[in-house]
Amino acid sequence: MTTTSPALIIIGASGFGLEVHFLAERLGRRVKGFLDDNANLAGATVLGAPVLGKIESWTAHPECEFVVAIGNPRIRRKVVAQMGALGTPAFATLIDPAALLDQRLVALGQGSIICAGAMFTTQITLGQHCIVNLNATIGHEATLGDFVTIAPLAAISGCVRLADLVEVGTSACVRQGVTMGPGSMLGMGGVLTKDAEANTLLIGNPARMLRQLPPL
């Protein structure tokens, strides 16, 4: 007997949400529509799918699964908390068929999104609602906390520890064994060779702190 996955609703109808729609179609998931708080998108149709309402209206679709397609980790956490305050939404985990990921070797948290070309080796742990974008690589024994965002082409070496709400920019690299504290961010093209403190923005090669970010 075959089983059919529930219809999917994507939170966020622009930007990364468009790429998640592409991913959902590659997986054969039926996209019922989008939810978005942008008033300019009310009643719109995006990639053939309707914008069904604001995010808070998820409770009108209890039969569906949801995925939060918002790249910014801090906003993504806020949206998940907003939804959770109204009930218990079922969050989908999406893995592109062109990703290299063996689920016997990678522990993957609920609500995470793994895009095409992402590569994982072994003994890796990801928390909930992580995003690993196109052609990023995650090395052996790496640990990613909740709401981590890895941008396209980023390279996370073995035994790296990325705390909750860390963001690693496009083509950035993190050296083996390095730890990034909660809410820290490595800018695009940055090369991080030393541990990063919480809530700091680092740029350059080698990466150095540019400024302090707001506390979580």
**pLDDT (tens digit per residue) in 141-170:** 999 999 999 999 999 999 999 999 999 999
Give the annotated binding-site residues: 71
Give the annotated binding-site residues for substrate: 71
Question: Is residue 61 annotated as a catalytic residue, yes or no?
Answer: no
With pLDDT > 90 as the criterion, what percentage of the chain qualifies?
A: 97
Sorted by sequence, the CB contacts under 8 Å of residue 25 that are 6+ apart come out as 31
Peptide bond into 182 cis (omega under 30): no
Which of 21, 61, 129, 140 is labelled catalytic?
140
Residue 2 has pLDDT above 80, yes or no: no
Domains of the chain: residue spans and CATH: 8-84 (3.40.50.20), 94-205 (2.160.10.10)
**d(Cα 149, Cα 167) in Å, to the nearest integer?**
5
**d(Cα 188, Cα 72) in Å, to the nearest integer?**
14
pLDDT in tens, 126-145: 999 999 999 999 999 999 99
| Cβ atoms of 2 and 62 closer than 8 Å | no
> What pLDDT is stored for residue 4 in this prediction?
83
pLDDT in tens, 91-116: 999 999 999 999 999 999 999 999 99
Number of alpha carbons in the 13 Å side-chain half-sphere of residue 4:
6
